[in-house]
Amino acid sequence: MKNLKHSPLPVFFFFILHLLLSIPLSTSQLCLSDCGMQPLRYPFGSGPGCGDQRFQQYVTCKQQKLTLTTHTGTYPITDIDYSSQIIYLSDPSMSTCDCSQPSKGFGLDWNAPFSFLDDNVFALLDCSLDSSSIYRPNADGGYNSSAVRLCDAKGQAICSFLNSCRAISMLNLPISTCCVYAPVDLGPSYEMDLQKLKCSSYSGIYSFNGQEADPENWKYGIALKYKFNVYNNYPDSCSACERSSGVCGYDSTYNNYLCVCPNGMNTSSDCFFGALWSKSWRAPTWHKGVWLAYSLVCALVMAML
């Protein structure tokens, strides 16, 4: 044992492990609880591995801006009502009382975990066909005279109010070129293709704000509903994670649930245990393993001395 005390082996072990532990390492996964001014909660996340995997490809946070992307474009998310499970979008190409401009329309991907809120109202503007001739699309994307009409006769009042807006009135369009309908008439594809409908623009209104006759105060945009899962149950494990200041996420390799803690520690439960770790040190899993190895080597060397 005397020779071991003078052996360079223990010193070598200590040197290597100390070198490994002194290397500055970034966290294996860090999920934020907000994106700009917008709080982020399940099922949405700030990046890959955060939130629910089904939503990650549609709702993203880039440069502190939260957006929803579909095959028709990328749209800023202006608000999220977590209690009602509704997200609100703005479409930069949409016509409002302040601005009238051409648009290609809006559509949802068929497999996206969203649906239109029933309160949405869409007004097609500058349509080349008479409003009574605009029909719901067929399954193949075409239109025929036997299809159900999209236009709501009661919606002509909305067209009249929109035509009173300065930006739209300057177009000098007959009111018959405006067609108002609800999302339920978009069909199963949730597609509003203005080129096929032969209309140049549209307005989306998700709330009249209690002022139906004043389009200046309407809330323009698109409201979408979302569901957590088939049964629309909020995961209990996620609730526990968020109560412990964690962010719900997933392992992108094995698709397992993860609770991502503020200190960078990933757990399968919550962050109360993770709070014991230093918040100033965000350690990846393998780095923690080095600490364990370090402790074992120390114990072994002490036993041998």
Q: In what order do the strands lie in the sheet with 266-267?
A: 247-250, 257-260, 266-267
Smallest CA-to-CA distance from 86 within 120, 137, 50, 133 is with: 120
Q: How confident is the model at residue 23 (pLDDT cuts 50, 70, 90)?
A: very low
CA 133 remoteness from chain centre: 36
Across the range 118-144, mean pLDDT stands at 66
pTM for this prediction: 0.74
For residue 220, the cross-strand partners are 205
Model confidence at 142: pLDDT above 80: no
Confidence band of 25 (pLDDT split at 50, 70, 90): very low
Query: Does residue 42 surpass a pLDDT of 90?
Result: yes
Lowest mean pLDDT among 108-112, 141-145, 175-179, 272-276: 141-145
- b/e string for 2-19 if b means 16 or more Cβ within 10 A? eeeeeeeebeebeeebee
Contacts of 300 (CB under 8 A, 6+ apart): none
Q: Which of 269, 266, 293 is nearest to 277 (CA)?
A: 266
- Which has more confidence, 149 or 59? 59
Dihedral class, residue 85 (left if φ above 0, else alpha if ψ from -120 to 50, else beta): left
Q: Report whether 77 contacts 64 (CB < 8 A).
A: no
Average pLDDT over residues 181-199: 71
Indicate if the pLDDT at residue 153 is higher than 90. Answer: no
> What pLDDT does 285 receive?
43
For residues 181 and 299, the model is more confident at 181
Record the tokens describing residue 159, joined without a space.
Answer: 């067209």
Average pLDDT of the chain to the nearest whole number: 78
Q: Rounded to the nearest 10 degrees, what angle do helices 285-304 and 8-22 cross at?
A: 160
Burial of 41 (0-12, 13-18, 19+ CB in 10 A): middle
**What is the per-residue pLDDT for 190?**
67
- Dist CA 37 CA 19 (whole Å): 40
- Could you give the percent of the chain with pLDDT greater than 90? 36
Distance CA 165, CA 125 (A): 13
Sheet strand arrangement including 65-70: 59-62, 65-70, 73-81, 86-89, 222-226, 114-116
pLDDT of residue 162 exceeding 70, the answer is yes
Q: How far is CA 223 from CA 5, 78, 220, 292, in A?
A: 73, 10, 10, 50
* In the chain, % of residues over pLDDT 70: 69
Predicted confidence (pLDDT) at residue 292 exceeds the cutoff of 60: no
At 172, is the pLDDT very low, low, confident or very high (cuts 50, 70, 90)? confident
Task: Indicate whether 191 pLDDT > 60.
Answer: yes
pLDDT band at 58 (very low <50, low <70, confident <90, very high): very high
Confidence of residue 140 (pLDDT cuts 50, 70, 90): low
pLDDT score recorded for residue 187: 52
